[in-house]
A and B are shown apart, each in its own frame.
Chain A
Amino acid sequence: MPAEGVSIGVEAPTSGEDASPGMVQNGGQRGSSSTTTTTTTTSGTSSRRGGVERLLPPTTSPPLPSFLGGPGPRPTKQGKETKTRVGRVQPNPISRETLPNSDPPPHLGCSSPAMDRQPPAASLSPQDWEQLLDDFASSSQPPSRRDRWLHLPLLDLAVSSLPRRDLPSHLKPLILSLLDDHLLPPSPASLPAFLASLHAFPPDHPLRDHLLTTVVSAFASALAAPLSQHRDAPPLAALVDTLLAAANRPNHAPDRAARALACDALRTLDAALPGLLADSLGHLYALAAAERSPAAQSYLLLLASAARHAVRLGRLASPASVLAVAGPPTPFSVPAHLLSPPHAASPPAPPSEANVRDVRKVLALLMDRPQVLTPAATMEMAAILAEVASAVLEWAPAVAAHIKVQFGGMVHSSSPMLLHSLLTLFVRFPDAFGAEDERTMVRRLALAAREAHRPLAVRLLALHWLLGSGRFANLVPGLTQWFYPAVFDPLALKAKKLDCLAYVAAGVGGETVSGGRASDQVAGLLDDGLACVSAFRWLPAWSTETGVAFRALHSVLVDAAPHSTDGTRCSGAEDQGLVPVIADFSNRLLACDSHRWAGERLLRTLDECLLPRLEPGYQLASYYPLFEKIAQNETVPQLRLIELLTKQMVSLSKKHGPDTELKLWSQGSKVVSICRVMLKHHHSARVFLPLSRLLVLAIKSFPDLEVRDHARVCLRMLSCVPGKKLRHLMGVGEQPSGVTPSHPGSLFDMPSPRPAQDLKSMPDLASYIHLERVMPLIVKQSWALTLPNFSVQSRPSGSILSIQDVSSAPSEQENPTGPAVKRIGYAQETLRVMDSKGAETLQILRRYFTCIPDYLHSSGLKIRIPCTFRFDSEPFNGAWGSDLPASGDGADELPALYAVTITFSSSAQFGNIPSCHVPFILGEPPGSGMDIVPVDNQNREESSYCASVVIELEPREPSPGLIDVSVAANTENCQVLSGSLQPITVGIEDMFLKASLPPDTPREGVAMYYHDLFQALWEACDSSSNTGRETFPLSGGKGSAAINGTRSVKLMEVTSKVLIGAIERYLASFVVSVAGHSLVTILRGNGVIKNVIWEENVSDASVGADALVPYSPDSNLQLQLIDDDDIGVSAERYGHESKRDMGVVRVMIFLPPRYHLLFLMEVGCASTLVRMRTDHWPCLAYVDEYLEALIS
């Protein structure tokens, strides 16, 4: 039936349908002739066959859209093309005839020009074929040109065209090729047509071989088990019949090529339909045994293939002999198993004895003389033999030995196919090939790579085979000498040989871990190997040699011989050109989980070996990529690198010249950026010192401003922001680091997100942010004289009140009830008479006062109040929210404040109080006890939770007061926080300073100087003193001071022990001298007070009293005035106590800006009388309080 279809199709007149394009063609054809049947069948089948895309969807699918869309321009185009082809078509008389009217060809009968002038469906003229072939050959363009043919039943057309006599002969092979390349597989329905055209061809036609090939290909590619008994089986059986008949004439000389081809065709069919020839095995055996011509190869292969399928089908298990011959080979009938659907495979049963014998017989024939086969056929044969022999190996072990005997000789062949075939047999039958064969094989493979005449790919393949089999693994090391690359080996081969050396090296390293010799060997091996690409040291970094060298190093590493890498590498790394390559290389290692260690090791090695050898200078710049890698790595110690970079900075600074500015800038910024990288990747503690030194150096001496600036930022970050927060900060805004900024807070971003909150809306800031004095005041002076200044940003502090007149009293101060103060009037007297003692006193005072800074004309003395700054995490988080991702690490979860600015203001006379800055502080973890940090201004390594802040005052007047504190800071999420904190109380004791010392005072004279000064001041502050009229120039000579003394006394009713404790604790540094035996003994023994005058021998108090403490009735009176209540008691007790005087302690305190407070403490066992003198009477109000607090 299909054959008819074809014949009708051929006869069918040209389809001059005027149906519209589109569906069209199909429809037209369907109506016109019985071709339709064929086509529909074809289409149905092909679509069913798995949607494999083929060029030929013969009329199945509706015509392609492109075809639909392009009717317009195509006719002209085709017309042109047809014309251009004229020359080639000429020999054909038909085409010459049609030439004048070739556009359009007359027989196409194309009526409507609007419709694309499609080629006819039924038969194509030679011109059409030429055109079609040309369109199909033009592969480079998108296949639009082919598309217009696709609606045709091309397959049928092609098949039917072959016997046509009007086609020029040169077209027919082309049509066959077209079939081969584009039109296969066909639908099974068109197979009879193929068969028919094959039969139609005369057997001696030159094209018959090709046609046979095509037909068989069509059958083999179209059919698959199970076959349809009625449709597929008959033509198949007919074809096999034909082929078997052709093959069944052994030793017929002239047609040996045809017979060989028939065998090959049968083999192909057998492969496509497994077991097709299994029943004919006996015939095939006989044929193969008989054939002597060169076609024997095909017979043997056919036999082998059929035997293989018989084995696969489990035929060996049946008692019937596989070689049994039932009748003549023809007529052939398709075996039953191909017609039924596949049944479940049963496990292979052991072969019957007879069949083992038969298979051995077959194998013996196949292996009789493998030398008669071509290399390609041997490869095929070896594969089949391996399978068949394996199937019976258990029952016929001698087969393997036979294989070895017959094929072993191929080891010396120069054909790579034979070598590889032997190799597959070798791997398949390990028992047959002994250790000696293994050695030979391995050696051959190693040598094959050395044979210069072989193509490069084969030499590479040989090495791959060598490395590919585990059986050779232990033999490879013995071949080391064959792996040495030669000068003229292509680089690819060098690379592969180096792989082998690396493999050997890994083996050596793995086996003999013990001795150092092994590693020497390995290093030697690599050095030798790398010599062939040693040019990488001076060739550009992108040279192939470099690539090969580093690939080799890598393969050493992954072959696990890390100990051998050091020596070679460093010598290479000294060349700067290679740096990027090395950096890449280490990147590659670091990126890999399993070889990160190797990369780290490489960097460490570089650090150890390379860095010490580098010299600073501009050339160093080329190493920066490496440095960066080192800096990034946490496992590499950084000290060497920092040292080198420091040197580099020094050298850069020195080389500074007018023409090097750009370089300086570029180099400097790179160094700083490496520092930055280091900051980011290392715990600051480890790199802190050297790195900060480097940065300081850069800040101080580097010529380029921007670099200095960057360094400063880095240093700041280094010193202030700890650990992970720092790394977090550094990571933000750096794209390449891969850390996507989780929030926009960053030093480098504009602080935008949340509006700065109103100050007023943060009233409770003080409840969780604390600024506290380190040393609590002795006097809880809640009653401070100054009024707290509540307006935070009110007037600029520092407006100094009432300092114009030395004598004028501060206006707003109010004297509380306190010790009686005697005001000494000030009178200007210019003429004075003075005794020698007075003159001496004056001289001491003058000398002293010149040391006191003149606060009016320059900066005065500073008072420092150390404070701690901290804040509580929990309330802070509550107030501000923490959107920082909790990363599990303690410090990371805590909130942090950045760039805290603490500003101070005070209504008291404290001058300009500079604000303080805390760059970074962590919130205090909840629940943790506040750790008391010993405050040391020099030591910045404070706790991260608590920053020390020092408030500096420059008091104009020694008085207590309150300092208002306001704070502004950034939170982590970029909010600005500001508000006021609890004010800081300043007490009188904060004003206590030691008197200044003239610079020329010798060290041993200090105590005496203070002693003398005390005496002089004591004198001067006496109301009777005539120094009161004297003025003393201050430092700088512009201002001067006068002394207006005031006296006071206070009785402190405490035991001496308490008093001494208090003195030692609070006043020790102000003690000038101690007199009295017992007191001296105690104080000296305690050892707290040092460098004072010890007046031991002045044991009788009278001397001291005479000289220093003129007890006047006035004094007593005054004392009584002060202590109204218990005046009697005091007076009464005084007498007793004085008898038990232990001694006298003299205390001298300097009160800034230029006043003094002098105590003369007459220490008794039960009470102490303190005589006070001062040149600044208002302070006495606080002093009394202070003394009370001192002993309470």
Chain B
Amino acid sequence: MSSSSVSPATQQQQQRRHGSSSPSSFPAIPRRAMSGGGCSVRAIWILTPHDTVAFSRRFAVVEKRWRESWEADEGYGEGEGRGTEAAPTQQPADHEVAAAFAERRRREGTARGSGIRTNVSSVGLDSWVDDPITRHIISLYIKKEEGDGYMLWPVVLQKRGGYYVLVLPLVDPQSFRAYENLLKRSDCGSSAKENGNLSSILLNLPCITGAFMVGHVLGDIITADIAEPEVIVSSGPTVGGLLDSLTGSIGISARAKPIAAPVAAPAALASSPVGSAQSESLKGGVRPFDKDLLRNFIIGAMPFGTPQDLNYANVTSIRATGFSGDPLPTDQKQPAWKPYLYKGRQRILFSSLETISAALYDRDDVSDFLSISGQVTCRAELEGLPDVSLPLAGLKTAHVEVSSFHHCVQASEPTDNKQTLVFQPPLGNFVLMHYQAPCNIAPPVKGFYQLSMVSENEGAFLFKLTLMEGYKSPFIMEFCMITMPFPRRRVASYDGNPSIGTASMTEHSIEWRIVSSGRGLSGRSIEATFPGTVRFLPRTTQRTNSLLRSVSSTAFAEDSDSEQDNVKNGASLDDYIMEKINKDLQAVDLEEPLSWQAYNYAKVSFKITGGTLSGLTIDPKSVINRLKLHFALVNIYPSVKAPAEYSMQASSGDYILWNTLGKCPTAALPREF
């Protein structure tokens, strides 16, 4: 009676009989791995930074499947390298999960873990597997007061708004064991060429990907980051999302969502005197979230643990408003992601939003790095279920490196220079495509930044910049600001006047507003210089207690022997000071691109409207070939008369002027083989 499952067991026995290989072996995908199908979630927990459970949700249906698959697996093939621990068929209580998570944080250094194997890693820790993904797909060891504990894996972890979102998907027992073996192998680490490596496990488990998306949406909800992508209309501010469409009202929407990397991200990080390692453990400050909202969403999106639709706007709209009078299309299936049809004045809007990242060195030996990450957002207010066809041309000449599309888009294979997008637009705002491209125009801010320390607490700096060179109307630089962050020094005073704009200081930075909002820079280029000096308060030795540091800086750091002779070998004062400062530099998280605090740099923030930097523009009304990439005429079938609007905007992401006189991070450019 208890060994109840009939069909899966026999199924699996058959597979075994037919010599189907074990899950870790490769490349055959075990049938069993697929037998659960897709993605089902056993449980969801949301933990606070205080290691308490703020929200939890279990799916008894999925849990039963997990138990059955495990029991079926236990039923035969005794002792084929399975773990000695108790079968992880139990479901942990909330407090056990919280305790396990706290314990993991203690063992791994941070809540996310170190991700790479360090000298504190030991067998059984995620970092023993030595892969950065183990910061996102973690294992939790549930300890039982009596009896053996057991492991939870894979727990997909996301940190959002101070909360930790944990999603535990259903996997087959074989994959579970394969990972357990990885955790326990005693050698120095696995190779991508071996069987049973982490990569092949992950490839066989789409549920992890699904769980990640679930966690992502839940994170969006608890951080209230649920606005739809921004679509800018030239006539007014941004337009609203799905709800606005439903009500037929078009107009002002307060929900502005910054695209991609927020401008202030590195600066915010840099201005915090403590490193990210500590900011993770910052207590308090987490905003409570609406649990009912979350519960409602889960009931709508994944009533039985298997996600159906993870689109927040759709799910909540359906649950909130239902379908009273909405007619059905007569001839074709209405997509699941378009539960409502639009009614009203028809138009179609496109926006190009680009984020430019730049590393400007002003050095002979290092070439500048400029990269644009862009997206085209769309809002199609069209009645019925029309197909919109959008031929793309000039992909190659615009050097578009990557592009990916909304799932409503049926993109043809890009042939030579052309690619046609056919899509049935969903309701509301959506990101039609993402792309990566180089900057096909001169960088909007170029020049150099130099900072030289004349003494330990005083430095001289110089900016010499050119703004908007080569940009003609209608490009408008709406604002431009430069920040010199000194995250680990406290600015006492600064001296010097910029040739244009105003300068100000904060505790840990100096800010220079070259173009302030309201007085945009259009149709001309300007030169801006800013020589000056900056004085810092004397350094107080910060004894940081970062775990990573205290552990990994072994005896030598404390060893008086390794003290450096002062300014030796003619090394510059700058180097000396940097070196001295860097002694208590903290290790950054793997999520950071580099140790920001180890460098001197100036960060540029700006916003440019009226064009794109990649050169990609859309003119839906006429085919123009002025720029390298264009969208040809938009075709809508069945044809309707709908005006199209297009707007463009570019803003800065990590736009960094590295101190020409200091150290700078670089990366090699691909070479041909």
Contacts and interface: CB of A to CB of B under 8 A. Distances in A.
Nearest to A170: B292
B279 interface: no
Given A177-B57, A488-B653, 11 more contacts: A139-B95, A218-B60, A275-B7, A345-B11, A375-B310, A379-B38, A451-B402, A506-B191, A534-B665, A580-B555, A595-B188
B637 to A, nearest CB: 15
A49 B130 contact: no
Interface stretch (B192-200, B244-252, B523-531): B192-200
Contacts of A413: 404-407, 409
B542 interface: no
Interface in B658-673: 663, 665-673
B564 interface: yes
Given A412-B411, A495-B590, A547-B118, A579 B556 contact: yes
A542 interface: yes
Contacts of A225: 4-7
Contacts of A375: 213, 310, 407
B64 interface: yes
Contact of A548 (B50, B116, B339, B557): B116
Contacts of A173: 292, 295
A142 B301 CA distance: 31
Interface in A864-920: none
Contacts of A414: 404-407, 431, 433-434
Contacts, number: 530
B665 A558 contact: no
Given A251-B328, A254-B322, A539-B598, A387 B34 contact: yes
B306 A380 contact: yes
B666 A534 contact: yes
Contacts of A296: 333-334, 336
A184 B559 contact: no
Contacts of A384: 37-38
Given A253-B323, A496-B132, A554 B188 contact: yes
A451 B198 contact: no
Interface in B58-114: 58-61, 63-65, 67-68, 71, 89-91, 93-95, 98, 114
Given A412-B409, A576-B562, A592-B188, A535 B206 contact: no
Interface stretch (A235-243, A420-428, A769-777): A420-428
Interface stretch (B369-377, B480-488, B514-522, B609-617): B369-377
Given A524-B671, A538-B579, A542-B548, A297 B308 contact: yes
B192 A268 contact: no
Interface in A246-278: 251, 253-257, 261, 264-265, 267-268, 271-272, 274-275
B397 interface: no
Interface in A411-468: 412-418, 420-421, 423-424, 427-428, 440, 447-448, 450-453, 455-458, 460-461, 464-468
Contacts of A492: 115, 132-133, 135, 590-591
A449 to B, nearest CB: 9
A409 interface: yes
12 contacts: A139-B95, A221-B64, A224-B64, A225-B6, A256-B323, A414-B431, A440-B413, A457-B137, A466-B199, A487-B665, A559-B192, A625-B554
B561 A292 contact: no
Contact of B304 (A216, A337, A418): A216
B516 to A, nearest CB: 27
> Which of B10, B61, B403: most chain A Cβ within 10 A?
B61
B5 A224 contact: yes
B436 A452 contact: yes
B260 to A, nearest CB: 6
Interface stretch (A525-533, A964-972, A985-993): A525-533
B27 A427 contact: yes
Contacts of A458: 209, 212
A467 to B, nearest CB: 4
Q: Which secondary structure characterizes the binding site on chain A?
A: helix
A451 B89 contact: no
B6 A421 contact: no
Contact of B206 (A50, A292, A377, A383): A383
A143 interface: yes
A460 B136 contact: yes
Contacts of B407: 371, 374-375, 378, 410, 413-415, 418
B35 A558 contact: no
A5 B670 CA distance: 75
Contacts of A663: 560-561
Contact of A543 (B13, B64, B329, B595): B595
A686 B85 CA distance: 50
Interface string A482-495: 10111111111111
Given A309-B7, A481-B670, A264 B590 contact: no
A528 B34 contact: no
Q: Which of B6, B371, B431 has the most chain A CB atoms inside 10 A of its CB?
A: B6
A409 B668 contact: no
Can you list the 9 inter-chain pairs with the closest CB atoms, starting with the nearest? A139-B94, A224-B4, A468-B203, A345-B10, A140-B52, A184-B60, A481-B670, A492-B132, A468-B199
Interface in A520-571: 521, 524-525, 527-529, 531-532, 534-535, 538-545, 547-548, 551, 554-555, 558-560
Nearest to B95: A139
Contacts of A216: 61, 304
B29 A535 contact: no
Given A251-B328, A253-B323, A221 B61 contact: yes
Nearest to B136: A457
Interface in A133-190: 139-143, 173, 177, 180-182, 184-185
A619 B564 contact: yes
Nearest to A535: B665
Contact of A380 (B38, B68, B329, B593): B38
A1109 B382 CA distance: 148
Interface in A476-515: 480-482, 484-496, 499, 502-503, 506
Interface stretch (A583-591, A1003-1011, A1178-1186): A583-591
Interface in B123-154: 130-133, 135-137
A490 B7 contact: no
A256 B93 CA distance: 36
Interface string B350-382: 000001010100000000010101010000000
B132 A495 contact: yes
Which has the most chain B C-beta neighbours within 10 Å: A224, A452, A589? A452
Interface in B5-22: 5-11, 13-14
B6 A226 contact: yes
A268 B304 contact: yes
Given A143-B93, A524-B671, A531-B666, A48 B133 contact: no
B253 interface: no
A830 interface: no
Contacts of B395: none
A579 to B, nearest CB: 7
A757 B27 CA distance: 73
A1081 interface: no
B500 interface: no
A622 interface: yes
Nearest to B419: A412
Given A48-B2, A264-B308, A417-B209, A468 B118 contact: no
Contacts of B336: 294-297, 372-374, 377
B187 interface: yes
A240 to B, nearest CB: 15
B187 to A, nearest CB: 4
Nearest to A482: B670
A588 B118 CA distance: 10
Contacts of A541: 552-553, 557
A967 to B, nearest CB: 45
Contacts of B5: 224-225, 274
Nearest to B357: A488
